[in-house]
């Protein structure tokens, strides 16, 4: 997602006025399911401030959940010589779910 955004006190994503900045909820959606999924009309993105993690919730016109997604990455500091440290990905997960 490449856009300017900020979070409100409850963690909901607010756009800077450009609809092209919407998160792409169709990423990872299998081609054969594209015509069958319920399209979310409201998409809320919650971001964790301490670790790289986010959660997306999409709701249809009745307010019923029709899309769910989350991502997170846990990194650890490593060193080859005990002087210079670097971060390596230790565990990460990306999950997407759609209502058909």
58 by Cβ neighbours in 10 Å (0-12 / 13-18 / 19+) ranks as: buried
**pLDDT (0 to 100) of residue 23:** 63
43 by Cβ neighbours in 10 Å (0-12 / 13-18 / 19+) ranks as: middle
* Parent domain of 69: 5-98
What is the residue-wise DSSP string for 56-72? EEEE-TTS-EEEEEEEE
**What is the rounded (10 degree) CA torsion for 24, 26, 29, 33?**
180
Structure tokens at 44: 């809320």
The pTM (predicted TM-score) of the whole model is: 0.67
Are 60 and 38 in contact by the 8 Å Cβ rule? The answer is yes
Looking at the structure of the chain, the number of domains it has is: 1
**pLDDT (0 to 100) of residue 28:** 85
How far is 18 from 76, CA to CA, in rounded Å? 36
DSSP state of 19: G
**pLDDT (0 to 100) of residue 15:** 40
pLDDT averaged over consecutive 10-residue blocks of the chain (100 residues)?
A: 33 42 76 91 92 93 94 91 90 92
């Amino acid at each position: 997602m490449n856009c300017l955004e900020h979070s409100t006190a409850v963690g909901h994503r607010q756009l800077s006025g450009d609809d092209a900045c919407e998160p792409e909820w169709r990423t990872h959606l299998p081609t054969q399911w594209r015509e069958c999924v319920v399209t979310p009309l409201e998409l809320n993105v919650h971001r964790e401030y301490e670790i790289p993690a986010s959660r997306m919730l999409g709701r249809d016109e009745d307010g019923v959940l029709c899309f769910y997604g989350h991502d997170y990455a846990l990194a650890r500091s490593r060193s080859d010589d005990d002087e210079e440290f670097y971060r390596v990905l230790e565990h990460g997960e990306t999950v997407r779910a759609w209502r058909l």
